[in-house]
Structure 1
Amino acid sequence: MSKRKQHAPEFKAKVALEALKGEETAAELASRFGVHPTMIHQWKRALLEGASGVFERGGRKKPEIDEEQVKELHAKIGELAVANFFFGKKAEALGREVRRGMVEPDHPQLSIARSSFYYTPKGETEQNLDLMRQIDEQLPETPFFGVRQMTWHLRNDGHLVNEKRIRRLMRLMGLMPIYQKPNTSRPAKGHKTYPYLLKGLRVDRPNQVWCSDITYLPMRRGFLYLVAIMDWHTRKVLAWRVSNTLEADFCVEALNEAIDKFGQPEIMNTDQGSQFTSLAWTGRLRRTGVRISMDGKGRFLDNIFIERLWRTLKYECVYLHAWETGSEAKAGIRKWMTFYNHQRPHSALGGRPPAVVYWLRKDETQPDQQVRRVA
């Protein structure tokens, strides 16, 4: 049995800092440092959560110590020490068949879960990355393709794939077919969801309703995630962020930028994903007095405008490039977003760009409000 590898704090900090830079995908970092992508996500989250403590000064209260809990922990440590001695020393003297029997489910006295064995992560293969790119290109054309239809489509194109692989890849990419069914979007356990507030509501002015969503960005090696904040009435993209992990932090950063530059909306609408049901996201909105709206389960039309933005972005920008690094991806997205907001004619706006309509309608509806005109 191979021992679980213990990583030094310095090593974890180094990997987490590389993840924060956003230059490489999680798969590339996992391959480079020889760790599992899940560990990279955990270390990055731990670094973000603990970073503020570095700047706190000496007014922190000393944590209270529960003596009973300390006794229980000491007893547990003793049990683990005995078990570790047995598996590390005594078990080595046993025969191969005896040791193998310890991990069989039907062992009468002892059974070790097979999932407790650790392996060296390899990331996604080139074949899987190619399949992910083809799935991402096909889904906007046929958004009703589920796992079965997508599997058939890829088989017709000559790929030897099964439903199990396509289901895993689509889940990894965060892709979901567009059709009405129950439980398509679930919040994290313990997170509160909010009702959908836009049904029957007439949205006729800027900053009345904002919407947000996350999409998958294929890279040459791996993938990144993109979040955007959009004004519902004028379709203007107010802020966006790219990340190599699906934490809530990069979503909150985009939200903070949008509020800082354009003021706050009356309503914010999102899906029920864990990033948007997190306390970091909902708490930021509630503190500024924004009403929170969330799509119904399986209701793709509830946030259709930003879904159309993703389709346009991918066909006009993402699929035309094979970005190597996060910097290249961010530069390409930034260039296209500027073009979309300020130059690209929009059919729903009479052929005018979203930014032009946003500031024109804002001057008409809020003539006394002075807002700094940016991007």
Structure 2
Amino acid sequence: MARKRRVLSSQFKAKVAMAAAKEDKTLSALASKFAVHSNQVSAWKKTLVERVAELFEDGRMKTESGPSTDDWFAQIGRLQVELEWLKKKASLPVEARRGWVEFDDAPLSVRRQCELLGLGRSSCYYEAVPESEENLRLMRLIDGQYLKTPFYGSRRMAWWLGTQGTDANRKRVRRLMRAMGLEAIRPKPRLSLPDGCHRMYPYLLRDFAATRADDVWSTDITYVPMRRGFLSLAAVIDWFSRCVLAWRLSNSLEGRFCTDVLDEALANGRPLIFNADQGCQFTATAFTSRLEAAGVKVSMDGRGRCLGNVFVERLWRTVKYEEIYLKDYADGREVEHSLAKYFRFYCDERPHSSLGMRTPAEAYAEGRSRKPA
């Protein structure tokens, strides 16, 4: 007997997209809650963010005639349909195209959609299995030990887990480390090859000493574990004072939350040099164009610059040991509330030994008053 097709209304899609935009739950948790695929949740969220600006074309939300909430949801749904079919004309990776296939309430059959997108129909029914609670626990242990011994590979990490009473073989540890993006520090040939899609910026901080605030800013991304899944955390830090100028959480690695945290930092100041690694979020034109428009020199870590972003990496170690590893976050709201309290403490109350026991906020305020050499 054929499975009855599930009809998804535009109101339902808008509700899921708005829940994802809040970023207090992971995409997997939202997919489980609303019984849809996580790729579809991500697609609806992206559509909502990109198209909702059209409701404010004249600077006022178009509700003067008193349309109901259902009408607003219906308008978002119509915009979403138009955008989805427009995207199908582009040639993008298989994973992205697979997320566009609609199983319910679609104008085309699944077979025809797959033909248009160049996909195998059977591949569209596969749903990724989320990590188990045991694997998430092992990932927390591995991440904590990796900060202490970043030269541990999968063999030594499996041995260390055994000393902690945890039975995990090397194959399992290697898979988890690969999923977390962790790899033992060691010299390797041809560490990375650029694809040529983005402009390459030179490293400008060789023999450069930051002598005042706003000389150099830097940014990076790390992850924050929760009971179910994890969130991505981005921050902008001032090199001279170690002050955290802005930070932002996201339930995905899309570049938008990195540009948002940059905009927040630039709203209160402007550095001479902005340094980052060559992650796709920071090499994107949307990110670098903001810096160039503000007259900031862009610097990027390259070959032989393993310590180019050392101040941000040291910040991550401090945040994790003093805040994240001491907590058991239930959801994204708890993460955001707890990190907001910690960053206020870090900037305004916590003395820093390299700053003569001053707080980063005090050093930043004093450093901004200095005249450039």
TM-score, with normalisation over the residues of structure 1?
A: 0.76
Counterpart of 1:50 in structure 2 is 51
User: 1:13–1:301: structure 2 CA closer, same or farther, 3 Å change rule?
Assistant: same
1:196 matched to 2:203: yes
Q: Aligned partners of 1:217 and 1:282: how far apart in 2?
A: 26
Q: Aligned partners of 1:188 and 1:2: how far apart in 2?
A: 44
Counterpart of 1:22 in structure 2 is 23
Aligned partner of 1:136 among 113, 138, 143: 143
Kindly indicate whether the alpha-carbon contact (under 8 Å) linking 1:15 and 1:40 is maintained by their aligned counterparts in 2.
Answer: yes
Q: Aligned partners of 2:146 and 2:291: how far apart in 1?
A: 32
Question: How big is each residue's C-alpha offset from its partner over 1:234-286, in whole Å with a ceiling of 9 and x where there is no partner?
Answer: 1111010111111111111111111112x111111111111111122111111
Paired AA for residue 340 in structure 1: Y
Aligned partner of 1:272 among 249, 273, 278: 278
1:362 matched to 2:368: yes
Kindly indicate whether the alpha-carbon contact (under 8 Å) linking 2:177 and 2:183 is maintained by their aligned counterparts in 1.
Answer: yes
- Is the partner of 1:300 in helix, strand or coil? coil
- Is the partner of 1:286 in helix, strand or coil? helix
Counterpart of 1:229 in structure 2 is 236
Counterpart of 2:314 in structure 1 is 308
Counterpart of 1:95 in structure 2 is none
Aligned partner of 2:332 among 307, 314, 326: 326
Kindly indicate whether the alpha-carbon contact (under 8 Å) linking 2:238 and 2:245 is maintained by their aligned counterparts in 1.
Answer: yes
Shift of 1:9: 4.2
Kindly indicate whether the alpha-carbon contact (under 8 Å) linking 1:185 and 1:298 is maintained by their aligned counterparts in 2.
Answer: no
1:348 matched to 2:360: no
User: 1:4–1:120: structure 2 CA closer, same or farther, 3 Å change rule?
Assistant: farther
Instruction: Figure out how many residues of one structure are paired with residues of the other and give that number.
Output: 321
Alignment of 1:146-185 (within 5 A): 146-163=153-170, 165-181=172-188
The percent of aligned pairs where both chains have the same amino acid is 48
Q: Aligned partners of 2:222 and 2:156: how far apart in 1?
A: 21
Q: Aligned partners of 2:351 and 2:370: how far apart in 1?
A: 21
Larger-Rg structure: 1
Q: Aligned partners of 1:125 and 1:292: how far apart in 2?
A: 41
Kindly indicate whether the alpha-carbon contact (under 8 Å) linking 1:229 and 1:255 is maintained by their aligned counterparts in 2.
Answer: yes
Q: Aligned partners of 1:274 and 1:156: how far apart in 2?
A: 38
Give the unaligned 5+ runs of structure 1.
Answer: 58-68, 70-80, 88-111, 367-375
Shift of 1:341: 0.8
User: 1:83–1:313: structure 2 CA closer, same or farther, 3 Å change rule?
Assistant: closer
User: 1:10–1:321: structure 2 CA closer, same or farther, 3 Å change rule?
Assistant: same
Q: Aligned partners of 2:347 and 2:122: how far apart in 1?
A: 49
Counterpart of 2:302 in structure 1 is 296
Paired AA for residue 367 in structure 2: R
Shift of 1:20: 1.2
Q: Aligned partners of 2:3 and 2:198: how far apart in 1?
A: 38
Shift of 1:153: 3.0
User: 1:49–1:240: structure 2 CA closer, same or farther, 3 Å change rule?
Assistant: same
Q: Aligned partners of 2:195 and 2:48: how far apart in 1?
A: 21
4+ residue runs over 6 A deviation: 1-6, 185-189
User: 1:13–1:365: structure 2 CA closer, same or farther, 3 Å change rule?
Assistant: same
Shift of 1:56: 3.0
- Is the partner of 1:302 in helix, strand or coil? coil
Q: Aligned partners of 1:220 and 1:280: how far apart in 2?
A: 33
Give the unaligned 5+ runs of structure 2.
Answer: 59-88, 90-107
Kindly indicate whether the alpha-carbon contact (under 8 Å) linking 1:216 and 1:225 is maintained by their aligned counterparts in 2.
Answer: yes
Shift of 1:193: 2.9
Counterpart of 2:292 in structure 1 is 286
Counterpart of 2:94 in structure 1 is none
User: 1:32–1:171: structure 2 CA closer, same or farther, 3 Å change rule?
Assistant: farther
- Is the partner of 2:236 in helix, strand or coil? strand
Q: Aligned partners of 1:300 and 1:43: how far apart in 2?
A: 38
Q: Aligned partners of 1:303 and 1:334: how far apart in 2?
A: 23
Paired AA for residue 365 in structure 1: K
Q: CA RMSD in A?
A: 3.3
Paired AA for residue 359 in structure 1: A
User: 1:209–1:334: structure 2 CA closer, same or farther, 3 Å change rule?
Assistant: same
